[in-house]
């Protein structure tokens, strides 16, 4: 049964199909306030063990637009609080008829557990640990495709806390799969990736050098909830050096896109003056999220 847990689950052909279907949904279903009925009454459960605004609510909208039956249990009120394991919770929901789970959790072990256990239900990763947030990366690529016809020649800068960002790791894998290899990770030494031989990118600590001539800047927030106590980072220096300002944006190509998966810390990640700048496409990213997540549901249900 197909799952969408990491980018490893997707071939370039799958990615193209998901993005084409998302474009169809955006224009022919969502823009016309219609519903798609081929997954009607399939039961999906959104299990969010961490907070979320964009991912949770866009999945709910995607599921409702697919006419699915949607469960979004309040996990603070579930038997997990009495000591039931996550696996037993999933088996319980599956026994009620849940055919797909959308899961967010800080527990990276879940990625292995979910593939090893004999579930019939499908799983979609809505952000697990530091490693993977594949549907966010697909949304970001969907926006990039709106602005650039030729992906292969693009020069992309990913700036900020690359090391603890599940979005960054999924983006790099997705971009590489689609032939995009000119990727610059820009961060202080202590926030760079380690042990990442399966990804193609270049590391920069000098932001001015890294941003020179790029087509796309993707700024990431500091993942404060996932930082180890031992992290060697001068926070004030980091904020001062890695804030995207008008001057920093001017180092990129004239019409470069300024992206952020959100939530964006204004005046920490990107200066306030750039939040309504014409090159800022952060809300455009959000506007692609429902359609892309509808197509991700189709992928796991083999209905692309």
| Positions in the binding site for ligand CP (CB under 6 A) | 52-55, 127, 136, 261-263
By beta-carbon proximity to ligand CP, the closer residue of 12 and 263 is: 263
Compute and round to an integer the Cα radius of gyration of the chain.
19
By beta-carbon proximity to ligand CP, the closer residue of 55 and 66 is: 55
> Hey, which bits of the chain come out as E strands?
43-48, 69-71, 98-105, 122-128, 155-159, 182-186, 202-204, 216-219, 257-259
| Residue 23: CB atoms within 10 Å | 17
Shortest Å, Cβ 52 to ligand CP: 3
Shortest Å, Cβ 51 to ligand CP: 7
- Which helix (H) or strand (E) element contains residue 43? strand 43-48
Shortest Å, Cβ 120 to ligand CP: 27
The two beta strands, 122-128 and 202-204, are: unpaired
Shortest Å, Cβ 244 to ligand CP: 17
- Which helix (H) or strand (E) element contains residue 241? helix 235-242
Shortest Å, Cβ 267 to ligand CP: 19
By beta-carbon proximity to ligand CP, the closer residue of 39 and 282 is: 282
Shortest Å, Cβ 234 to ligand CP: 26
Shortest Å, Cβ 136 to ligand CP: 5
- Using CA atoms, how far residue 42 sits from 27, 47, 71, 158, 240, in Å, is 24, 16, 11, 38, 49
By beta-carbon proximity to ligand CP, the closer residue of 204 and 244 is: 244
By beta-carbon proximity to ligand CP, the closer residue of 53 and 92 is: 53
List b or e across 202-234, with b for residues whose CB sees 16 or more CB atoms inside 10 angstroms: eebeebeebbeebbbbbbbbbbeeebeeeeeee
Contact 279, 249 (CB under 8 A): yes
Shortest Å, Cβ 148 to ligand CP: 21
Of the candidates 293, 302, 275, the one whose C-alpha atom is nearest the C-alpha of residue 139 is: 293
Query: What letter would DSSP give residue 198?
Result: T
Angle between helices 166-177 and 134-147 (to 10 degrees): 50
By beta-carbon proximity to ligand CP, the closer residue of 86 and 168 is: 168
State phi, psi for 252 to the nearest 5 degrees.
-80, 180
By beta-carbon proximity to ligand CP, the closer residue of 127 and 210 is: 127
By beta-carbon proximity to ligand CP, the closer residue of 199 and 286 is: 286
Of the candidates 59, 6, 20, the one whose C-alpha atom is nearest the C-alpha of residue 289 is: 59
């Amino acid at each position: 049964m197909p799952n969408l847990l990491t980018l490893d689950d997707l071939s370039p052909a799958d990615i193209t199909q998901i993005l084409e279907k998302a474009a169809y949904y955006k224009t022919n279903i969502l823009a016309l306030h219609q519903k798609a009925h081929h997954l009607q009454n399939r039961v999906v459960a959104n299990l969010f063990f961490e907070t979320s605004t964009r991912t949770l609510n866009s999945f709910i909208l995607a599921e409702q637009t697919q006419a699915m039956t949607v469960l979004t249990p309040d996990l603070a009120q579930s038997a997990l609080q009495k000591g039931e394991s996550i696996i037993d919770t999933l088996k319980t929901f599956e026994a009620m008829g849940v055919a797909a789970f959308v899961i967010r959790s800080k527990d990276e072990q879940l990625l292995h557990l979910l593939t090893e256990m004999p579930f019939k239900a499908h799983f979609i990763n809505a952000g697990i640990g530091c490693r993977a947030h594949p549907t966010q990366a697909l949304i970001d690529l969907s926006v990039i495709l709106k602005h650039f016809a030729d992906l292969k020649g693009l020069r992309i800068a990913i700036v900020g806390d690359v090391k603890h960002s599940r979005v960054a790791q999924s983006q790099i894998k997705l971009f590489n799969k689609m032939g995009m290899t000119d990727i610059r990770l820009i961060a202080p030494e202590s926030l760079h990736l380690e042990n990442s031989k399966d990804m193609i990118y270049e590391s920069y600590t000098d932001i001015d050098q890294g941003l020179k001539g790029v087509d796309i800047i993707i700024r990431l927030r500091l993942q404060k909830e996932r930082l180890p106590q031992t992290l060697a980072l001068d926070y004030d220096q980091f904020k001062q050096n890695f804030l995207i300002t008008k001057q920093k944006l001017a180092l990129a190509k004239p019409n470069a896109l300024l992206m952020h998966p959100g939530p964006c810390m204004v005046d920490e990640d990107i200066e306030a003056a750039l939040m309504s700048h014409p090159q800022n496409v952060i809300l455009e990213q959000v506007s692609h999220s429902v359609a892309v997540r509808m197509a991700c549901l189709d992928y796991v249900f083999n209905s692309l």
